[in-house]
Amino acid sequence: LLLTRLLLPAMTARRCGHIVFLGSVAGHLGVENEAVYSATKAALRTYAEALRAEVRRQGVGVSVVSPGAVATKFFEHRGAAYQRAWPPAVPAGAVANAVVHAVERSNKQVFVPHWLRFPTLLHDGLPAIYRGFANKFG
């Protein structure tokens, strides 16, 4: 957020630029044992949405890239390895490619992998059904 505050005035003055925030699917769905992480990623997504509305007429794009688990040392640093067989962790390069594509195509929201969009649509459209699946399958 601080970096955005520093860079945004120059972008709006030039009437060009693009800001990409790295979110998480956890910010869309709320993941068990990840309450604080999920909340901060949800806040980031809402911040991006509001910022996008504020700068849309000033030539600045705003995107959120929301990956699932990424094959990095994130889980080691938090003290517990990623244990799930499904979905598998995605390579960091896939997330980097999604960032590039988000800028090139001015996408507002990108999921990595793409199919993660569907659980979020189910969550938003039919939350009771989503919660039943989430409780059963994790």
Single-letter amino acid, residue 102: A
* Active-site pick, 37, 47, 82, 130: 37
Would residue 47 show up in a list of annotated catalytic residues for this protein? no
Six-digit token pair at 117?
A: 């969009």
Coil, helix or strand for 90?
Answer: strand
Going by C-alpha positions, the residue among 27, 124, 127 that lies closest to residue 68 is 27
Q: Cβ–Cβ contacts within 10 Å for residue 6, how many?
A: 9
DSSP H helices in the chain = 2-14, 26-29, 35-55, 74-78, 92-105, 117-125, 127-137
Active site residues: 37
